[in-house]
Amino acid sequence: MTRADAASTSTDGADASTRSGHDTPRRAFGFARLAGGRVVGLDLARFLALIGMMAAHVWNERLPEGGPTLALTLVQGRAAALFAVLAGIGVVLSMRRYLGGVDGSGRGSDGRPAARNRSAETASSSESFESSKSPGSFELFGAPRGMAPAIRALLARGAVVMAIGLTVGLVDSGIAIILVFYGASFWLTIPFLRLRAGALVGVAVLWAVVWPVVSFGIRTEWLTDTGFANPSWTNLGDPQFVPDLFVTGVYPVFTWIVYLLVGMAVGRLVLVARASVEQDGGRMLRRLALRLTLGGAAAAFAGWALSSLALGPLGGIDAIALTRGYTTGTQGRDLVETDLQGSGFGLVPLESPWWLASSLAHSGATLDVVLTAGTAVAVIGLCLFAGFAVRGVGAAVLAPVVAAGAAPLTIYCTHVFVEAATAAALPPDAWMIEDLMWLVSSPQLWLLHVAGALLIGLVLALLGRRGPLETAVTTLSRAAAAGLPRKRPGR
């Protein structure tokens, strides 16, 4: 998953920014591409999201005694949210080649439409796109001509990622595959492609407040079934497929679009700060990293604190316990508090409206979204800071890490297939066998998956190549952006 494709935008974003000006010579295996450490910082954040999701998958249960691990408690809901926010950043970086503008919104600093990024469009004859002034150029859904290539690119990008997800979903891995939800989320960003950072944050906040309540009501009245099966080619025609995709699944698109909108706002700010690197030596970008770190941490704390207030002093836990038939004593409270340490698996529990005031991990409740989005933004800020320190020998040492972060889709799919193969090779009761239980859930197993990701990163860094799945998604989305060639008059 997810720079904009959980995977593919990592390279698109770098290419788009590089071609938009301020090129910097490549060094350290070709990964430290831009001044100020912006790309390095984002790739570091993607790598953290990758290994966080791996921990949630293979280091999630204490064996043999049972119960969640500390690692799961730390990354549950947060790693996937980090991917989604990075996906929103990737949307902005990759779409700038079509929309232009300092911040990738197609508008100048005065808010007026900016000139198209002609240098990017004409970088090569195979990547040239129709000008906004070309007579007869294709207008998709009545959108401005400058939007048409961006819309086609995002539609194709989402479709390709969904197709990969439907294929990976055929494998019995025991992992909730995010890719189909992820791909559909790209489509929902299309109406917001020209919004500035402030407007994007406003829409994200409004939707984070309104949608959980609407979802709660919809599921209470009509869609009580929850879909835990991975979307795949085999259940594509299931009547529950679309409701699961958008409302009742493990990563419902109508919930997760908030993370992409937040990421798009961050992406706008990063592009503006990046444009000043040559003038101020990266001072604006460093200030942005600090603002993201502090602002994200403040949002995360607010989400946690408000949830604690609502469920504790305001009586939320007691009210939930009451719906379960516990009127007095601590047993009911203890059970609810135990549940609060778990996961909502994408949805707010329906047993009580008080769950809407919780920050239950991976529930999509407003305060859960605030906490996890804030955590993601803070991590991105810290990684941008770290990017400034990646120079010389340090850059060479971190080359496999950054290259792995630049290939999240390839590594994510590899991780799923390896975990599926491991599970298939083990007996059903492996979690009870002392010599085998470490292959079910353990820090050793997690480290093996991390080592595999670093090995892939090392190979890609040495070869100076992108991941194969990232290359495929980028190639197909750019081909879609180019559109069908028009016949010349007289032919």
Backbone dihedral region of 66: left (phi > 0), alpha (psi from -120 to 50 degrees) or beta?
A: left
Q: How far apart are CA 466 and CA 407, in angstroms?
A: 7
Does a structural domain hold residue 184? yes
Does a structural domain hold residue 487? no
Q: Which of 266, 269, 301 is nearest to 377 (CA)?
A: 266
Does a structural domain hold residue 346? yes
With vertex at residue 143, the alpha carbon angle to CA 137 and CA 146, rounded to the nearest 5 degrees, is: 55
The per-residue pLDDT for 26 is 38
Counting runs of H as helices and runs of E as strands, what totals does the chain give?
Answer: 20, 0
Q: Which of 138, 147, 80 is nearest to 113 (CA)?
A: 147
| Strand ranges (E), 276-315 | none
Burial 387-418 (b: 16+ CB within 10 A, else e): bbebeeeebbebbbbbbbbbbbbbbbbbbbee
Using only C-alpha atoms, the chain has a radius of gyration, in whole angstroms, of 23
The per-residue pLDDT for 23 is 35
Work out how many domains the chain is built from and give that number.
1
Does a structural domain hold residue 421? yes
Q: How far apart are CA 159 and CA 421, in angstroms?
A: 27
Phi, psi of 107 (to 5 degrees): -125, 150
Sign of the torsion angle spanned by Cα atoms 112, 115, 120, 126: positive
Alpha-carbon torsion angle 206, 207, 209, 213, nearest 10? 140
Q: Which domain holds residue 160?
A: 9-482
Long-range CB contacts for residues 208-212, cutoff 8 Å, separation at least 24: 208/258, 208/366, 208/369, 208/370, 208/373, 209/366, 211/254, 211/255, 211/258, 211/364, 212/255, 212/348, 212/356, 212/364, 212/365, 212/366, 212/369
DSSP-derived secondary structure letter, 346: T
Q: Which of 118, 77, 104 is nearest to 358 (CA)?
A: 77
Does a structural domain hold residue 90? yes
Q: How far apart are CA 296 and CA 104, in angstroms?
A: 22
Amino acid sitting at position 92: V
Q: How far apart are CA 9 and CA 63, in angstroms?
A: 38
Does a structural domain hold residue 256? yes
Cis peptide before 243 (omega within 30 of 0): no
Give the total residue count for the chain: 491
| Strand ranges (E), 382-474 | none
Cα separations (Å) of 347 from 327, 352, 390, 462? 26, 13, 39, 42
Q: Which of 484, 417, 490 is nearest to 449 (CA)?
A: 417
The burial of 471, by beta-carbon neighbours within 10 Å (0-12 exposed, 13-18 middle, 19 or more buried), is given as middle
Token pair for residue 194?
A: 């020209």
Phi, psi of 343 (to 5 degrees): -130, 145
Half-sphere exposure for 299 (CA within 13 Å, toward CB): 23
Q: How far apart are CA 150 and CA 146, in angstroms?
A: 8
DSSP letters along 20-56, please?
A: TS------TTTT--SGGGHHHHHHHHHHHHHHHHHHH
Phi, psi of 27 (to 5 degrees): -155, 170
Q: Which of 180, 176, 333 is nearest to 253 (CA)?
A: 180
**Mean pLDDT, 10 residues at a time, the chain of 491 residues:** 37 38 35 44 95 94 74 91 96 89 68 51 34 39 68 96 97 94 96 95 97 95 75 92 92 97 96 83 89 97 96 92 77 86 90 94 96 98 85 77 94 97 91 86 95 96 93 94 68 51
**pTM of the entire structure?**
0.86
The per-residue pLDDT for 69 is 84
Does a structural domain hold residue 206? yes
Which residue shows structure tokens 């949307």? 91
Does a structural domain hold residue 489? no
